[in-house]
Amino acid sequence: MRTFPATGHSALRRGRISLPGQVYLITATTRHRQLLFGDHAAAHAASRVIHTRDHWGDAQLLAWVLMPDHWHGLLELGAEPLERVVARVKAAVSRALHASGLVEGTPWDRSFHDHALRRDEDMRRAARYIVGNPVRAGLADSALLYPYWNAVWLDDSDTPSL
């Protein structure tokens, strides 16, 4: 009898490893791909949490964008496992949304997708891809006009140096 590979959330977790110092491109989707963050108040509340350094532990968030139904991040991992870091941030966003009365139930899908950047992959190119999502989706004419993103490569004058 032919067997097929596992699909769904368990397939996303199989083979996942956490390497300190590794840079990961992460995607977390809203539950049932609801356009939860299409609402300004929900997107603003989630962005405040994502932008707060305290939630990332010893990992460094290099770039991120919050789209109406998902979040992308470029994360350099510290010693803490990737799954724990992402779970903590998703939980913090959930608490903020619940506390503000903006959502009931869980706002996120259970799992997330990650891609470990290879040595030959350029982090800034990955960051450009992330922050360019709203432009490709038709949500803004320029990443600068979309309010829910950030990258460590911005200087004090808010002029992107990506």
Q: Residue-wise pLDDT tens for the chain (162 aa)?
A: 555 454 544 444 455 678 889 999 999 999 999 999 999 999 999 999 999 999 999 999 999 999 999 999 999 999 999 999 999 999 999 999 999 998 888 999 999 999 999 987 889 999 999 999 999 999 999 999 999 999 998 754 544 444
Residue 60, Cβ neighbours under 10 Å: how many?
14
- Dist CA 31 CA 91 (whole Å): 13
The CA-atom distances, in angstroms, between 140 and each of 23, 67, 112, 124 are 27, 11, 25, 21
Distance CA 77, CA 65 (A): 18
